[in-house]
Amino acid sequence: MYEHDVIVVGAGGAGLRAAIAAHEEGADVALVTKLHPVRSHTGAAEGGINAALQEGDSWDLHAYDTMKGSDYLGDAPAIDTFAKDAPEEVIQLEHWGMPFSREEDGRVSQRPFGGLSYPRTTYAGAETGHHLLHTMYEQAVKRGIEVYDEWYVTNVAVTDHDDPEKRECHGCVAYDIKSGKIEGFRANGGVILATGGLGQAFDHTTNAVANTGDGCAIAYRAGAPMEDMEMIQFHPTTLPSTGVLISEGVRGEGGILYNDNEERLMYEYGYANNDGELASRDVVARAELTEVNAGRGIDDEYVHLDMRHLGEERIIDRLENILHLAEDFEGVDGLDEPMPVKPGQHYAMGGVECDENGETCIDGLYAAGETACVSLHGANRLGGNALPELLVFGARAGYHAAGRDMKTAEIQTGPSAESEAGDVEPPVEPGAIDRGSEDVAADGAAVEPTSVIENTVARERERIETLLERDGINHAEVRADVQETMTDNVNVFRQEEGLKTALRDIREARKEYQNVAVSDPSRTYNTDLIHTIETRNLLDVAEAITLGALAREEFRGAHWRAEFQERRDEEWIKHTMLAWEDGTPRLYYKPVILEGDEETYEPKERSY
């Protein structure tokens, strides 16, 4: 068994920031990651990092924009904390040597971004995430922070108590991918889950293959509720064959979207007559899919994004990176032909419920970054707000887990924060399968940390042995079934019947999953095994997304419902929460907090 004060699971932006913070606080900290830190998906972020740095700008303007952008589903304490902490975090990155783009006077550059009332997005070319990730990894190296790379955390070790709010997390269990060894990790201060996104629940996503919602599913099964899981952001311009992102910059520079009849769809079909191609992400994504569904898509699948008219010089000057992406990943020369694009899953606004200090309702269990839902982005994340989120809340989780005395959180977590019970009737009893083998609490009334961890290790060993030993179907089939139904039914457009179909399909996939087995018998670098365990996690997050989408009977932010075409503030300014109860998700609601530090946010129509 390994022992540290703080264990951080996942070593992307949030994980690295948390580890550095815990280390600064004097804790002995370790990063456990299924990749290597520099392979994390934070490196793929292009846009930038929002922070109010200049005179004339201020944290409360940033907070206001974020609340409005969230379509009033964000919690004010989270948003205020975020906007206040962001500037210092960004300048700290600068002190750590991050190669930001610079102004003539040598200060970091800031540019305008969608939904922002002030140009407050700092950036490093169009590779901001790459530079942020590497700068932070460098700082982790400088501090000698221990990294267990290519170790896959399969579960957390949590005490057994009926009430999740009385449970304690003592550590986690990880599988060494290189050797096949399964070991317990004891964390005296806390375990921070920073495992990133869950895009692989969909078959078309900008997310990395490793983004399988591991942290979400692990925390959920341990008893920490998932919040606002239906809020999935779809990006309108991704390459059809891979999901690789084509930056909003193309439309910003004047790129035009055409349908199969070579019509400029945004204007000719009147989707956004004022803004055209520069309408907000959700609007453009819906427009593209409407065209495809009406039979005006190309190959019944996508539309064209044309930038040829901008001229070679301007394209190479400002959009060179896009030429490479189209060429390398789609085999299309953007100078000679239009690029095929379609909407793709991009970001999960929901996640593991936690407070401003990153803590979940389970003592000692934290979540940060895309895995978490402090309730910052609400129903819609503004571009440039994901990177400061992982800095601010990664750091806070790290400090708190390492024992820093911090202001008591205003956001309440756990089932006791319930305002009302959910009343959605799913077509099937989702998830009420395979209980027992997946129970997460330690056996009996054990409260001694070591035995809690040992029991969890024993269960994980048994689970992995079983998967390796028995015969069965390949996980890839189950994974593909889930991804397909999610893309067919829980995509940009959602309607009741489709959501119910998806729940039935997920239930079917759950049954199928009972028969999965790993056919590669090797203990050495068994990716078949890793992907099989990941698929289990995808089932839980896919189900949560779908149940949340079925429950939320309104149109808010990224969540569009055929039957409900309006935002219904009176009834729906509340979070959809899912708690794991003996393998069955229990739906309930939690009020949104609109009372901020300075003023109470009044819901207004979100129009730009």
Partner 1 sequence: MSTQIEKQETETEEQESEPAVESPGEKRREQKRQRQAEREAQRETEEATLDDEETVTLKVFRYDPEVEGKQEPRFDDFRVPFHKGMTVLDALIYARDRYDSSLTFRHSCRQAVCGSDALFVNGRQRLGCKTQLSDLDGPVRIEPLPHQEVVKDLVVDMEHFYEQMHAVEPYFDADEVPEGDLEEQRQSRENREKVKMSTRCIWCGACMSSCNIAAGDNEYLGPAAINKAYRFAMDEREGENRKQERLRIIEQEHGVWRCQTQFSCTEVCPKDIPLTEHIQELKRESVKNNLKFW
Among all residues, which ones are annotated catalytic?
281
Among 26, 112, 125, 311, binds partner 1 (CB under 8 A): 125
127 binds partner 1 (CB under 8 A): yes
Site string for partner 1, 456-475 (x = CB under 8 A): -------------xxxx-x-
Stretch that binds partner 1, among 255-263, 385-393, 518-526, 593-601 (CB under 8 A): 518-526
- 263 CB contacts (<8 Å, ≥6 apart)? 269, 296
Among 70, 135, 280, 535, binds partner 1 (CB under 8 A): 135
How many whole angstroms separate alpha carbon 259 and alpha carbon 312? 23
CA-based nearest residue to 70, from 385, 530, 408: 385
As a whole number of angstroms, the distance between CA 39 and CA 34 comes to 10
138 belongs to the binding site for partner 1 (CB under 8 A)? yes
**Whole-angstrom distance, CA of residue 376 vs CA of residue 389:** 8
DSSP per-residue codes, 387-454 = HHHHHHHHHHHHHHHTT---PPPSS--SGGG--EE-----SS-TT-SSTTTT--BPSTT---HHHHHH
Task: Please say which residue, 141 or 562, places its beta carbon nearer to partner 1.
Answer: 141
**Sole residue written with tokens 């392979």:** 39
| Residue 61 vs 91, nearer CB to partner 1 | 91
CA distance 347 to 352: 14
Select the residue interacting with partner 1 from 241, 261, 293, 514 (CB under 8 A).
241
Per rule CB under 8 A, is residue 111 in the interface with partner 1?
Answer: no
Reported as type and span, the H/E element at residue 565 is none
Query: By CB under 8 A, which span of 163-171, 240-248, 285-293, 574-582 interacts with partner 1?
Result: 240-248
Helices of type H across 194-344: 214-222, 249-252, 265-268, 281-293, 312-330
Q: For residues 43 and 225, which CB has a smaller minimum distance to partner 1 in the complex?
A: 43
Nearest to 394 by CA among 17, 5, 12: 17
Counting contacts by CB under 8 A, is residue 304 touching partner 1?
no
CB 424 within 8 A of CB 551: yes
Of the pair 103, 300, the CB lying nearest partner 1 is at 103
Among 132, 219, 518, 545, binds partner 1 (CB under 8 A): 518
Nearer to partner 1, 134 or 567 (CB): 134
Reduced to 3 states (helix: H, G, I; strand: E, B; else coil), residue 186 is strand
Among residues 370, 371, 368, the alpha carbon closest in space to that of 356 is found at: 368
Residues 189-218 that bind partner 1 (CB under 8 A): 208-210
List 264, 433, 525, 581, residue binding partner 1 (CB under 8 A): 525
Residue 332 lies near partner 1 (rule: CB under 8 A): yes
User: Which of 58, 188, 495, 519 is close enough to bind partner 1 by CB under 8 A?
Assistant: 519
Contact residue for partner 1 among 274, 408, 524, 607 (CB under 8 A): 524
**What Cα–Cα distance (Å) separates residue 340 from each residue in 241, 411, 468?**
9, 43, 41
Q: Which of residues 41-60 bind partner 1 (CB under 8 A)?
A: 41, 43-44, 53
For partner 1, which is the closer residue by CB, 326 or 587? Answer: 326
- Binding partner 1 (rule: CB under 8 A), the pick from 142, 181, 309, 511 is 142
Closer residue to partner 1 (CB): 242 or 450: 242
Assess contact for 70 and 588: CB atoms under 8 A. no
- The CA distances from residue 238 to 196, 213, 241, 340, 374, in Å, are 20, 21, 9, 8, 28
Q: Which residues between 23 and 42 bind partner 1 (CB under 8 A)?
A: 35-36, 38-41
* Contacting range for partner 1; rule: CB under 8 A; set: 308-316, 426-434, 517-525, 542-550: 517-525
Nearer to partner 1, 128 or 159 (CB): 128
Could you say which of 80, 512, 528, 540 contacts partner 1 (CB under 8 A)? 528
* Pick from 222, 223, 225, 226: nearest CA to 156: 222
Q: Give the chain's largest Cα–Cα span.
A: 70
* Position 444 contacts partner 1 (CB under 8 A): no
d(CA 177, CA 206): 25
Rounded to the nearest whole angstrom, what is the least distance from the CB of residue 137 to partner 1 in the complex?
Answer: 9
Nearer to partner 1, 240 or 585 (CB): 240
Using CB under 8 A, count the residues that bind partner 1. Answer: 70
Is residue 357 at the binding interface for partner 1, with CB under 8 A as the rule? no
Q: Does 268 bind partner 1 (CB under 8 A)?
A: no
Site for partner 1 in 567-606 (CB under 8 A): none
Cα three-residue angle 20-26-28, rounded to 5 degrees = 75
Rule CB under 8 A: is residue 145 a binding residue for partner 1?
Answer: no
**Distance, CA of 161 to chain centre:** 29
**Residues 91-110, mask of contacts with partner 1 (x by CB under 8 A):** xx-xxxx-xxxxxxxxxx--
- Listed in sequence order, the DSSP H helices in 128-240 are 128-142, 214-222
Question: Which of 28, 60, 88, 438 is close enough to bind partner 1 by CB under 8 A?
Answer: 88
Considering the rule CB under 8 A, would residue 166 count as an interface residue with partner 1? no
Check residue 181 for interaction with partner 1 (CB under 8 A). no
Q: Tell me the CB-side half-sphere exposure of residue 575, using CA atoms within 13 A.
A: 35
**Phi-psi domain of 226 (left: phi exceeds 0; alpha: psi -120 through 50; beta: other):** beta
| Comparison of 36 and 309: residue with beta carbon closer to partner 1 | 36
Residues that bind partner 1 (CB under 8 A): 35-36, 38-41, 43-44, 53, 87-88, 91-92, 94-97, 99-108, 125, 127, 129-131, 134-135, 138-139, 141-142, 178, 208-210, 241-242, 244-245, 325, 328-332, 469-472, 474, 476, 517-528
